[in-house]
Amino acid sequence: MIRRLLCLALAASAFLVTGATAAHASGVRPLARAHAHNDYEHERPLFDALSHGFTSVEADIYLVGGELLVGHDPEDLVPGRTLQKLYLDPLAKRSGHHLQLLVDIKNTGAATYTELDRVLRSYRKVLTSYRDGRVHRGAVTVVVSGDRPRSLMESQRVRYAFYDGRSADLNSGVPASFIPLISDNWNNLFTWQGVGPFPAAERARLHDFVAAAHAARQRVRFWATPDVPGAAREAVWRELVAADVDHINTDDLAGLESFLRTCRVPAHAA
């Protein structure tokens, strides 16, 4: 019964990362766990993810010539292909849609963040912000990953972005108003790649990790999980769902959408 209810909750879920509910303009039911890794590499950045129900997308940025250019590597950068054009402008035009925008800073951390902060202030009407010692929810929550200038961000009395923590930040006492998300490389914490049984000690570690984050009102994401279509990937995804991991990382939009809408929670979760 518990397994069935969990699957139904996933398939019908309209609860997004901010805790609010909204439907995509396309009518696709949102998937609270779906995170588009390197989203900008899809044919239609942002819009392809939204069309599959994703509620979290990731964009890598470089500060070049005063522009926040989006791309994985320096040789991929194209003038004018900016964070504003690909993400912030279209998101500002969408009503009632709640989404996490994970911005991965790839170069000159403090300088890039300073420009990002300046840019985000122009979109403040739609952004979740931190001010007056409180978090004020908006339609889009920006979380900064990569080369994060922690001391600079912590010193701000008003912020329009939040800090992507790591496993070392778990149980650190730093509030979710600064670190709402704990992310880490799956391979730093677990050896299992979906082949054969999930070692009991590693499963317990995963569940304890998520429980600790949730107790601090923080969400959890792992990158570098298996992402080649097949039984191993689905085995890992099932364990992530069973452990209540908040964001499942993938480049395969259609594959994760199909999985989440037809999930089967492992028997040990019942």
CB atoms within 10 A of CB 27: 6
Q: What per-residue string of b and e applies to 124-160 under the rule 16 or more CB within 10 Å gives b?
A: eebbbbbeeeebeebbbbbbbbbebbbeebeeeeebb
Residues 229, 252 contacting (CB under 8 angstroms): yes
Give the phi and the psi of residue 5 in degrees, each rounded to 5: -65, -40
Q: State yes or no: pLDDT of 194 exceeds 90.
A: yes
Residue 17: the pLDDT is 37
Compute CA distances 246 → 17, 49, 133, 155, 161, whole Å: 8, 17, 25, 28, 19
In the predicted structure, residue 24 carries a pLDDT above the cut 90: no
Considering only the C-alpha atoms of the chain, give the largest distance between any 2 of them, rounded to a whole number of Å: 57
Give how far Cα 128 sits from Cα of 138, 177, 238, Å: 4, 11, 31
Structure-block tokens of residue 225: 């999980």
Q: What is the pTM of this model?
A: 0.89
- The whole-number pLDDT of residue 23 equals 38
- C-alpha triplet 115, 120, 60: angle, nearest 5°: 65
Q: What pLDDT, in 10s, does the model give residues 196-222?
A: 999 999 999 999 999 999 999 999 999
Average pLDDT, the chain: 90
Section 147-169 average pLDDT: 98
Is the pLDDT at 167 greater than 90, yes or no? yes
Mean pLDDT of 14-39: 66
- Predicted confidence at residue 158, as pLDDT, reads 98
For residue 269, the model assigns a pLDDT of 46
pLDDT of residue 5: 39
Q: Note the pLDDT of residue 16.
A: 34
Mean pLDDT of 57-64: 98
pLDDT for the residue 264: 66
pLDDT for 120-140, tens place per residue? 999 999 999 999 899 999 999
